[in-house]
Amino acid sequence: MEERYYIYENWHRKRGRIHLASCGYCNDGRGPQQADSGKNGRWHGPFDRNHAFAAVEHLQMSADIQPRAVCNP
Ligand SMILES: [Zn+2]
């Protein structure tokens, strides 16, 4: 089964990070256990790997995102 990816977009820092759906922070796109009020950012996804990186480009977060920085717990 192919892993799914989500992107967390942080509005304050104008940056994003790609997360695996299975990672503890991503929590399948729902974020950490503490409910995210939506003030700090939002989740995009799910994507497969190629689409996740393409979406980063589309969201213009590429200036700050580190393409290799997919979390890998
Ligand atoms: Zn993660």
Q: What is the pLDDT of residues 30-69, one digit of tens each?
A: 887 665 566 778 889 999 988 988 888 777 654 455 555 6
pLDDT at 1: 57
28: closest CA among 4, 50, 48?
4
8 pLDDT tier (thresholds 50, 70, 90): confident
| 3 Cα: distance to centroid of ligand 1 (angstroms) | 12
Provide the pLDDT for residue 39: 72
Please give the DSSP secondary-structure letter assigned to residue 8: E
| CA of residue 26 to ligand 1 center, whole Å | 5
Answer for the pair 21, 29: CB distance below 8 angstroms, yes or no: yes
pTM for the structure as a whole: 0.73
